[in-house]
Amino acid sequence: MSVSDESLMSASNAAQGERFTDGARSFEGRLLQRTLARLGNPEVEFTLWTGERIAPRGVEPVCRVRIPRRATLVSILANPGVNFPDAYCDGHIEIEGDLVRLLEAVYLAGERAPVPSMLERVLGRIRRPHVNTLAGSRANIHHHYDIGNAFYQLWLGQTMAYTCAYYPTEQTALDQAQLAKMDHVCRKMRLRPGEHVVEAGCGWGALALHMARHYGVKVRAFNISREQIAYAREWAKRDGLAGEVEYIQDDYRNITGHYDAFVSVGMLEHVGVDNYEGLGAVIARCLGANGRGLIHSIGRNFPAPMQPWIEKRIFPGACPPSLAQMARIFEPHNLSILDVENLRLHYAQTLRHWLELFELAGDRVQQMFDARFVRMWRMYLAGSIAAFTTGTLQLFQVAFATPHNNDVPRTRAHLYVP
């Protein structure tokens, strides 16, 4: 989970002298030391099969990593961003200390890293993520979301909401925070009974049900994940809301009809920046004169590719946008951005709650899959916590309206009534 991709900001922070690691004697040890320098010298101690101890100079390491075999180190040195997390998943390295703190150290170091070489930049451009054509999106979404609803039920909580929750207080529990997020989203759109809402990327369907149940709206909810749609339809039937919520197994690009509001929570990461203007065209076409909507997405402070291990193993085709990139949805269609809220630290908290539940269900997960899968998912959740706490990732909720909609709330005070 290293971050040569994270080093765009590094020029001004490249002074590294005082942090240099030390202790290498062998050729491999010196190579590791050089690679760590290139990654901004994370505050992590490494011990090798040779007995060498390579530690940051003058600071206490936040975590210790043991690399017991030469072949593992060679692989990590060749492509640390992918092969270090892979080595953890394969059980080829041992980590002593807190995984989240290790990954935070790696992310923070990435910002201090020297500017990538010309060769690295060229390679970075060649390495294209999985594309999001209609068929490509189906394959990408299937990879992550169709590995079994039973698995996700172990650690997502009652709502099965697989997106950043909203914590009004530090003590709010996961399920309450997910419901608070749904209310926060609905209030931002100021939904009124009888209105029609279209949802793009509805996950297991909780938000659509919540809108219908508590705000009296009719919802058409789109998703290309077969398993999620099946689960959502069953849930709507069980709760007697099948007449209010229609789940449609189709791509957001095929949305038809006219609606009062458009909402999408946690789909944009999978859309791909090249498709944003097209997404905006879908929104503009399906909203009426007093239309409004909300898009909730993981984002970044500046454009950068997805961490390569996450893109390869967890979310093929995913790319969290910067706010300027998100604006490509709205600006070509004269849609008016009303409100942006950054919920970065709420996502760190959500992920901590998920990771707790995941660890509690570790034995069950291992029975369902295997030990490698458990480590992979732990790496992904811990790495995501680290990305949000270090500001490597952001979470943007963007509320918007059609350009002449003057029936928008004067202030945001209505979001904060208890």
User: Residue-wise over 293-308: b if at least 16 C-beta within 10 A, else e?
Assistant: bbbbbbbbeeebbbbb
CA–CA separation, 149 vs 229, rounded Å?
11
Smallest distance from the beta carbon of 209 to its own copies, in angstroms? 25
Residue of 245, 179, 178, 240 lying closest to 217 (CA atoms):
245
Nearer to its own copies, 322 or 366 (CB): 322
Nearer to its own copies, 5 or 86 (CB): 5
Smallest distance from the beta carbon of 362 to its own copies, in angstroms? 29
In this structure, what are the phi and psi dihedrals at residue 410, rounded to the nearest 5 degrees? -65, -45
Nearer to its own copies, 266 or 321 (CB): 321
Tokens of 85: 């997390």
Nearer to its own copies, 21 or 397 (CB): 397
Residues 6 or more apart from 265 whose CB is under 8 A from it?
Answer: 163, 181, 185, 199, 201, 203, 207, 294, 296
End-to-end Cα spacing for the chain = 40
Amino acid at 56: P
What does the H/E/C string look like for 341-359? EECHHHHHHHHHHHHHHHH
CB-side exposure of 192: number of CA atoms within 13 Å? Answer: 8
Nearer to its own copies, 30 or 416 (CB): 416
Nearer to its own copies, 220 or 328 (CB): 328
Nearer to its own copies, 218 or 333 (CB): 333
Q: Which residues bind its own copies (CB under 8 A)?
A: 9, 108, 111, 166-170, 301-303, 322-324, 327-328, 330-342, 344-346, 389-391, 394, 396, 403-406, 408, 410-413, 415-416
CA–CA separation, 108 vs 102, rounded Å?
10
Three-class SS state of 326 = helix
H or E element at residue 395: strand 394-401
CA–CA separation, 384 vs 379, rounded Å?
8
Smallest distance from the beta carbon of 323 to its own copies, in angstroms? 5
Smallest distance from the beta carbon of 321 to its own copies, in angstroms? 11
Nearer to its own copies, 166 or 309 (CB): 166
Nearer to its own copies, 92 or 333 (CB): 333
Nearer to its own copies, 83 or 392 (CB): 392
What does the H/E/C string look like for 274-304? HHHHHHHHHHHHHEEEEEEEEEEEEEECCCC
Smallest distance from the beta carbon of 28 to its own copies, in angstroms? 33
Smallest distance from the beta carbon of 115 to its own copies, in angstroms? 14
Residues 6 or more apart from 273 whose CB is under 8 A from it?
Answer: 303, 319, 321, 325, 328
Smallest distance from the beta carbon of 200 to its own copies, in angstroms? 21
Smallest distance from the beta carbon of 247 to its own copies, in angstroms? 30
Q: Classify 391 in phi/psi space as left (phi over 0), alpha (psi -120 to 50) or beta.
A: left
In terms of DSSP bridges, do strands 287-299 and 394-401 run parallel, antiparallel, or are they unpaired?
antiparallel
Three-class SS state of 167 = coil
Smallest distance from the beta carbon of 193 to its own copies, in angstroms? 24
Smallest distance from the beta carbon of 128 to its own copies, in angstroms? 22
